[in-house]
Chain A
Amino acid sequence: MSLRTPSLPAAPAGSPRVLAPSRGRAARRAHLVRAVTAYLFLLPALLAFALFAWYPIVRGLIVSFQEVNLVDPPRWVGLENFRQLIDDPLFVTAWANTLRFAGLGLLLGYAVPFVLALAINEVRHLRWYFRLAFYLPVVLPPIVAVYLWQWILDPGPGLANQILGWFGVDPQPWLQSSDTAMLSLVIVATWSYAGSTMLIYLAALQGVPAHLYDAAEVDGANLLRRLFDITLPQLRFILLIMLVLQIIGTMQVFTEPFVLTDGGPANATVTVLLLLYRYAFQYGNYGAASALGLMLFVVLVAFSLLYLWLTRRFRP
């Protein structure tokens, strides 16, 4: 994941600032040609985004205020879709569950890739192997990974309970209980996505100047002091960015509850996107689904603006 776009090459040093009229026209023409060429290169991407991203977003906004069943002509209904959502007891449940997932994700999922990156960064041998091993789940198709976890978390002979059994811990219900289902989903998601985040942290760790550590070692700083006084301050920008990106990602959780629990047991894992999916594709109520999508969109835009602000405020 690239957090910064490469900047264009700077103008060659010594370019004349003041040009004679004929040379000015030539320069302007050259500039125009360059600009047109650049926009022509951009055109396919602009068209693709317009067709497959911006147009659906605008349509979604419009549909939020309409009754749409794809058979009869759309009908304007004002705020009725939003009223219906707010009246739905599952609306509050879905937001609460989503925040719970995001919160547990911060506790567990946010720390794991950072700790992995720190550990691998300290390893002197077989570093490539550990990088590969922890990254491997990322290359699995999400559905395959999720189904794999269905077996691991099986309350009977599942691998997770077998491992707990080695330590004398009783079998856990995992996905089968309202108390543990959400935590189980966070474990699955962490396993699935930690590898890619870990690589970003690893890259950032490589950028910490070695002389800082050398100086700290000379001063007798131990591992923890080096972590808190050098590593964390040096990585605060990337940690902050990843925090915001993770919140944006976890607020959109869908695949894990959809495949593993279908929102159960007893609605304990119904998330905002799962509820949206149900409104659209089970109830055929595209208006309410779009309205819910709009609400989520507003929340995510807020976090995205925060992300943009952070990248400008703290960019090294």
Chain B
Amino acid sequence: MGDETAAGRGETDGETRARRVDRRTLIRVGGMAATVGTVGRVARPSTGRAVAQATPSGEPVTVTDNGLPPENQPEQVEVYEQIVERYESANPNVTVESTANAWDPQTFPARLAAGELEDAFNVPYTEPQGIIARGQAADITEYLQAWPSFPSYNPNALQVVSDAEGRIYGIPIFGYALGLMYNRTFFEEAGLDPDSPPATWDDLRSAAKALTGDGRAGFAETSTDNQGGWHFTAWTYSAGGTLEEVDAEGGATAVFNSEEGVAALQLLKGMRFEDEAMTDRQLLNQDDTREMMATGQIAMCVQAPDSLPWIADRYPDVDMEQFGFGILPQNGGNATLAGGSVWMFNPNSEPEVIQAAVDWILFKEFDLENLDARLAADQERGALIGAPESPIFTGEYLEQRQEVFARYANAPTENYRAFIEGSATLELRGEPPVETQQLYAAIDPAVQAVLTDEGADPQELLDEAAEQFQSQVLDRL
């Protein structure tokens, strides 16, 4: 062992970073989970265009964003480029330049300070409040309110991107709730009803035991990249617990070393060592469990529904009919974790560029004619359309949007009925509000311990994590 180099690993893999972006989110998104592909009525789409002209002056403007799909997904890149072409032909004075630099918390401050950040950047729901508080995003209130469909926004979704005064700093585009992904074929083979996935912790344990065998684990759970803390939060919610308490002065207290938190860790530890129904390999992240689902190494895992198109894109030969989606199994909390993603805008960009960037994002995400064309292209390339979402809109625009989706939906939405109907009865709770990523980072080791050490003490682990998070993070704010 000689001259070892201690070089940091830059995030160079587009997929890896995309995973970090699309994974967690939260905040209460109010509405119930609904599939976007179940509305039967077909109507001519009306345009959702916001601003008649992208910029008031009509002067040439170049807009940059980080929405380009990764290079190793050439078909997605082609569809994306078609959208850019449509926009640029309708707005000849605007040039769109996109990168695949998916948002990365580790490089974000440096790129902003160095002037390297794109004009528009996509982040998960965990981030906007911190970004707003640090002055790292532009105020787009007037631009967004000028969009004709703005009144259809779910107020709870807008809350994610608003400050205490109600100023708006971002555009929510997507919402979801965590649930249970499972393999229906394995359920049938094990004598379980594939239309009734586990809805309680007890059901989950017995199903995982029944599904384990033939070189396959009944269940797998994440515990690295802050995703152990992320899913622990959902499990704690499902038991009725909470992670942080914020007082009237804004001071926060870590309270996750509670009875509910301990119960969540005991559930995982019991499945791992008593039931022996989990994978031998641990220290997993979300991509790992998705791959394990796609390749039949596990029968169940916690996922957001966007895991379905993720698998369909990366494993085109996998039969998507085999996957079902249920709610996060409950233990008295009657709740799950909800999240999504938003676009925010570089505060250092010129106002005219920001205005054009907002217009471009509204077109890209919400223009109904564009959506129609994009879904047609997505359907042609074999993408999965119709995975459940938690709607961020209400009223007329939501209906119009669902009508477009209904036209192209090819996902086996019947397989998601347990999730869609079950989510309607659950409270969708947002992520813990203060220093969320550091909270998750503090909890990861506790989740790792119960999944790798038969003698681990959940209460002791959570006490240590809570003390560390409180003294090192919360008390220093």
Binding site for B on A (CB under 8 A): 1, 69-71, 84, 87-90, 105, 108-110, 112-113, 142-143, 154-156, 171, 173, 175-178, 186, 189-190, 192-194, 196-197, 200, 242, 245-246, 249-250, 252-255, 258-259, 261-267, 273, 277-278, 281-284
Contact = CB atoms under 8 A, between A and B. Distances in A.
Nearest to A90: B468
A284 B438 CA distance: 10
A69 B6 contact: no
Contacts of B280: 155-156, 171, 173, 176
Contact of B1 (A1, A105, A171, A284): A105
B452 A70 contact: no
A143 B9 contact: yes
A155 B106 CA distance: 31
B109 A71 contact: yes
Query: Which applies to chain B's interface (DSSP): helix, strand, loop or mixed?
Result: loop
8 contacts: A71-B136, A178-B452, A197-B2, A255-B6, A262-B444, A265-B448, A265-B451, A281-B8
Task: List 4 A-B pairs, minimum CB-CB distance, nearest first.
Answer: A109-B1, A252-B6, A197-B2, A281-B106
B284 to A, nearest CB: 10
Nearest to A261: B283
A243 B2 CA distance: 9
A210 to B, nearest CB: 27
Given A176-B452, A194-B2, A71 B9 contact: no
For chain A, what secondary structure do more than half of its interface residues adopt (helix, strand, loop), or is it mixed? helix
Contacts of B456: 266
A282 to B, nearest CB: 6
A264 B445 contact: yes
B1 A110 contact: yes
Contacts of A113: 1-2
A282 B438 contact: yes
A278 to B, nearest CB: 7
Interface string B208-242: 00000000000000011100000000000000000
Interface residues of B, number: 46
B262 to A, nearest CB: 16
A82 B446 CA distance: 26
B282 interface: yes
A278 B2 contact: no
A203 to B, nearest CB: 13
A245 B283 contact: no
Contacts of B164: none
B295 interface: no
Contacts of A1: 2-3
A53 B106 CA distance: 22
B452 A254 contact: no
B36 to A, nearest CB: 34
A193 B283 contact: no
A267 B282 CA distance: 14
Contacts of B134: 69, 71
Given A194-B2, A196-B3, A252-B4, A282 B471 contact: no
Given A70-B113, A142-B5, A87 B444 contact: no
B448 A71 contact: no
B113 A254 contact: no
Contacts of B8: 254, 258, 277, 281
Contacts of A156: 279-281
Interface string B101-137: 0000111011011000000000000000000001110
Contacts of B113: 70-71
B224 A70 contact: no
Given A110-B1, A176-B280, 7 more contacts: A69-B109, A87-B472, A173-B280, A178-B452, A245-B2, A265-B283, A281-B106
Contacts of B110: 70
A262 B225 contact: yes
Given A249-B3, A259-B9, A262-B224, A89 B464 contact: yes
Contacts of A90: 468
Contacts of B468: 88-90
B43 interface: no
Contacts of A84: 472, 476
B58 to A, nearest CB: 34
Contact of A258 (B9, B279, B473): B9
A109 B4 CA distance: 12
Given A71-B134, A143-B9, A258-B9, A264 B444 contact: yes
Nearest to A249: B4
A90 B445 CA distance: 11
B354 interface: no
Given A266-B446, A266-B452, A284-B109, A273 B6 contact: yes
Given A155-B281, A258-B9, A265 B438 contact: no
A289 B281 CA distance: 32
B470 to A, nearest CB: 12
Nearest to B283: A264
Nearest to B111: A70
